[in-house]
Structure 1
Amino acid sequence: MSEITAVPLRPIAKGSLVKLWLGIAVALLVAAGLAYVGTRGVVDKSPAGFMAANARDEGVVTTKSGLQYKILEAGKGDSPTTDDVALINYTGMLIDGKVFDQNERAPLEVAGVVPGFSEGLQLMQRGGKYRLWIPPQLGYGSDVPAGGPIPKDSILVFDVELLDYISRAQLMQMQQMQQMQQQAPAPAGQ
């Protein structure tokens, strides 16, 4: 038969149990606070997460379609329509700031660009400068060539300045007049 040796336990001093529970509660509160501070800077890098966070920035407006824009400098007058050709300066970037395209004095058909860019142009007035955030469904989505400068399902960021615009019909008329002038025979004696 084996013997059991008993180890006497000392009684807990009065108030020690309360101090123990208070210590545990303080440790839990500190741990929760550190966990909160540690995750506060974490940003959801998915397109939907980025757009949701960006929408909270001051001055950013989100349209029904999901396009986001910020007016950097207001323009004046009317806005172009899908029947117009816009003359713009622009820089196209990814959300990490990497530039994939830029151009000055570029004539672009408002209806001939990705839907988000077209929508953004139609919000602007002559002389205006906007920043556009175009979600994948209004940009290129998955329809980008492999290995190109724009990864699939990327948010596109454009800084755009609308210099001027004219209707497509006016542009065609101007081009026809220019062609006729070039084809006209030189006056006699020259």
Structure 2
Amino acid sequence: MAEVTRVPLQPIAKGSVLKLWLGLLLVVAVAAGLAWWAMPKGVEVDEIAAGKGPNPVVGDVVFVKYTGKLPDGTVFDKSQDMNLPVQGILPEGTPMTLDGVIPGFKEALLKMQKGGKYEVRIPADKAYGANPPSGSPIPPNSDLIFEMELVDFMPEADAQRRVQMIQQLMSGQQQGEGGAAKPATN
């Protein structure tokens, strides 16, 4: 019969099990940190002043006042109020359709309420990514920061109706100023 070689087991050194568990916890913590760092970042919307009422929906025209900045504080864009000859028909601010803006801007607007003021951080992948508009001061793969106020919003059909009202009022004023011939009186 063959004899089995016996290997004597050495006792575990004092503190080795603790070191093993600490090492394992360190590896798990490092892996979790790397996973968090590599995870895509979302749009951050910080409320500065609360708004009221419902949120805009896709298909609405929003009227916003905003300042767009790069992470270093450089202003790359700023809204401008429309100079309309007839006041009160359209709200102040820059009108925009939700489908006509960058994905991060749209995502942020859908979370806002009328009258609210917000600071919005948009990661590069939800902004312009590697292809910013040509001639723009925005570098490729740049995150964007906006200070925004949602002045108002309305369905696109309502906004178009109001624009038509302004056009009709303007054409009526032009006809009145055009010096239409007065009928002769005897």
Please classify the TM superposition score into its range, dividing by the shorter chain length.
0.5 to 0.7
Residue matched to 2:145: 157
Residue matched to 1:140: 128
Secondary structure in 2 matching 1:127: coil
Distance 1:109 1:152, change over 3 A: same
Name the CA distance, whole Å, in 1 between partners of 2:134 and 2:181.
58
Greater shift, 146-155 or 88-97, is seen at 146-155
Name the CA distance, whole Å, in 2 between partners of 1:182 and 1:118.
32
- 1:147 Cα deviation from its structure 2 partner: 5.8
Secondary structure in 2 matching 1:91: strand
2:126 partner amino acid = L
1:72 partner amino acid = I
Name the CA distance, whole Å, in 1 between partners of 2:181 and 2:155.
37
Name the CA distance, whole Å, in 2 between partners of 1:160 and 1:98.
16
Q: Which runs of 5+ in 2 are unaligned?
A: 1-35, 81-92
- 1:106 Cα deviation from its structure 2 partner: 1.2
Distance 1:169 1:146, change over 3 A: closer
Matched, 1:75 2:51: yes
When the two chains are superposed, the root-mean-square deviation of aligned CA atoms in Å is 2.8
Name the CA distance, whole Å, in 1 between partners of 2:149 and 2:169.
32
Return the match for 1:96 from 49, 56, 72: 72
Residue matched to 2:97: 109
Name the CA distance, whole Å, in 1 between partners of 2:102 and 2:110.
13
2:131 partner amino acid = D
- 1:96 Cα deviation from its structure 2 partner: 1.1
- 1:180 Cα deviation from its structure 2 partner: 4.0
Distance 1:182 1:148, change over 3 A: closer
- 1:98 Cα deviation from its structure 2 partner: 1.0
TM-score (norm 1): 0.60
Number of residue pairs matched?
131
Return the match for 1:122 from 110, 119, 139: 110
Listed one character per residue, the Cα deviations across residues 119-164 of structure 1 (whole Å, up to 9, x for unaligned) are 1111111110111110111100011246630000000000100111
Distance 1:170 1:153, change over 3 A: same
Secondary structure in 2 matching 1:171: helix
**Aligned-residue identity in percent:** 39
**Contact 2:41/2:123 (<8 A) preserved:** no
Name the CA distance, whole Å, in 1 between partners of 2:170 and 2:136.
40
